[in-house]
Copies of this chain bind each other. A is one copy, B any other.
Amino acid sequence: MNAAWFPESPAASVIAPPVRPVLDVEDMPDLARGAAVLGTGGGGDPYLGRLLAEQALREHGPVPLVRPEDLPDDACVLPVAQMGAPTVSVEKLPAYAEIGRAVTTLAEHLGRTPTHVACIEAGGINSTLPVAGAALLGLPLVDGDGMGRAFPELQMVLPGIAGVPATPMSITDEQGNTGVLTCPTAKWAEDLARSMTITMGCTAIIANYPMTGAQARETLIGGTLGLCVRIGRAIAAARAGLDDPVAAVATETGGTVLHTGKVVDVARRTTTGFARGEARITGDGGDCLLRFQNEHLLAEVDGRIVTTTPDLIMVLDTATGEPVTTEALRFGHRVSVLGAPADPRWHTPAALAVVGPRYFGYDTDPVRVGAPGGTA
């Protein structure tokens, strides 16, 4: 019922009005915008995800938010998400039926009645689609997620790194195809679900990492939905007050402006089920090169690597503060590139093996945002 209800980000109590322990239609523009910021270029178009959640909330009423620490041990928490290439989800929209079917298919396979829906990542459509799912199913939503940002592959979640199996998982599409997978590792689940997703037309809805309340409490990053709402509000407030919206996002996320300039080159291909590519941004501070696979994973300025995964690399419209997804990057776009620290659990050796730059084929050690000098 007050700002302290969500874990504090540096300036939350100053900028953000109180956030209620429910999500309703009026929260969706802020949540979607903030989620797209944490989505670090991935997670799909926030506008689409917002429309989906708004419709579900209008039809089924507001969704109660539950903090991970308030989950009972024996809760049955089922995360739901869209899998696939954001480039495709712009044209092939997720529908209600698939979201509900993903959750109920997994619940039936488990022989459990789900008690809570959750987000497996914070970012774009994957922060708003679970809102729709929770509304549809009449279940509360956990205020938290498995990444604190977005990552492109499904083994890249903190619960998985802490030992929660990715499977059983369900996968479904708009054709009515459903699958339930049980795999020895999360990477196998990623590989098999990815190949199915590609066959399904490059997007699918999944429910995976089924968790007890105790597991969710211990392994999810709490408060990230609240943080998304605050980021969205900070952007709106800065714009309304003619303040700098990029600076407002930097304040909310603890981030740093890495570069400001104009997009002069975008090479993007939708391949092996991902949107992959590079973007080049000129500017007073030199040339900035971004490398992405659904999400921005590496930022160079004048040939020097200044931030890499797992830290957050966020691209915002310089004038409006609107987050720019990798599939929306266009020549001529005036953008600012922000870096922000990831949850410290991403910097352990076990986590870096899963999400560090070398996993993605970039031959560099991880570079944390603000590290002195970066690497050449």
Q: Mark A residues whose CB is within 8 Å of B.
A: 109, 175-184, 188, 191-192, 194-196, 198-200
Contacts and interface: CB of A to CB of B under 8 A. Distances in A.
B192 A177 contact: yes
Contacts of A192: 177, 179, 196, 199-200
B177 A179 contact: no
A188 B204 CA distance: 14
6 contacts: A175-B188, A176-B184, A177-B188, A179-B180, A179-B192, A180-B180
Contacts of A200: 192
- Copies held by the complex: 2
Nearest to A170: B180
Contact of A177 (B177, B178, B182): B182
Contacts of A179: 179-182, 192
A199 B177 CA distance: 18
A177 B185 CA distance: 9
A274 to B, nearest CB: 15
A184 B179 CA distance: 12
A165 to B, nearest CB: 12
A235 to B, nearest CB: 40
A368 to B, nearest CB: 34
Instruction: Report, nearest first, the 6 A-B pairs whose CB atoms are least far apart.
Output: A195-B195, A195-B199, A176-B184, A180-B180, A179-B181, A178-B182
Given A176-B183, A179-B181, A192-B196, 14 more contacts: A109-B109, A175-B183, A175-B184, A177-B188, A178-B181, A178-B182, A178-B183, A179-B182, A180-B180, A191-B199, A192-B200, A194-B199, A195-B195, A195-B199
Contacts of A183: 175-178
A184 B175 CA distance: 7
Contacts of A177: 181-184, 188, 192
A200 B192 CA distance: 8
Contacts of A188: 175, 177
A303 to B, nearest CB: 37
A198 B178 CA distance: 19
Nearest to A169: B179
A200 to B, nearest CB: 7
Nearest to A200: B192
A183 B200 CA distance: 11
A200 B184 CA distance: 12
A197 to B, nearest CB: 9
A275 B200 CA distance: 23
A150 to B, nearest CB: 23
A103 to B, nearest CB: 15
A179 B184 CA distance: 12
Contacts of A199: 191-192, 194-195
A211 to B, nearest CB: 21
Q: Among the interface residues A179, A183, A198, A200, which one has the most CB atoms of the partner chain B within 10 A? A: A179
A129 B188 CA distance: 25
A110 to B, nearest CB: 13
